């Protein structure tokens, strides 16, 4: 059985919208977005925000009920675990980036003043 929902996500300009398709086929949830990034099956912020149940991403607030229904599908999928992993990886990347900046600053100071 195939079930499908189409939600509209805000584009960054807030004027246009992208359509995000949630498709359940054989118990598996696939997500497609027609934004430039999402079109190639890549990760995009529209898919992620709607996966995260972010109502602010909805272009049309009338779709809140449909988003809630999509959330029922999401809960039965592996996406919640994947989102947790993503959040951890993002925190670690931020930490690593801060450390990198610090090390580069040390370099700059050393190269200016000598070491």
Which residue ranges make up the site for Zn ion (CB under 5 A)? 33, 35, 38, 44, 46
Shortest Cβ distance from residue 92 to Zn ion (Å)?
A: 25
Which residues does 2 contact at the CB level (< 8 Å), separation at least 6?
Answer: 23, 24, 25
Shortest Cβ distance from residue 99 to Zn ion (Å)?
A: 31
Q: Identify the three-state secondary structure at position 21.
A: strand
Shortest Cβ distance from residue 10 to Zn ion (Å)?
A: 10
CB nearer Zn ion, residue 50 or residue 73: 50
Q: Identify the three-state secondary structure at position 82.
A: helix
């Amino acid at each position: 059985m195939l079930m499908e929902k189409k939600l509209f996500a805000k584009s960054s300009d807030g004027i246009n919208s992208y359509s995000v398709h949630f498709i359940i086929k054989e118990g598996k949830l696939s997500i497609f977005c027609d934004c430039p990034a999402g079109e190639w099956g890549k990760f995009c912020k529209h898919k992620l925000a709607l996966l995260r149940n972010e109502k602010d991403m909805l272009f049309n607030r009338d779709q809140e009920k449909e988003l809630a229904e999509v959330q029922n599908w999401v809960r039965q999928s592996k996406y919640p675990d994947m989102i947790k992993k993503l959040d951890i990886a993002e925190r670690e990347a931020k930490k690593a980036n801060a450390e990198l900046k610090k090390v580069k600053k040390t370099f700059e100071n050393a190269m200016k003043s000598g070491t």
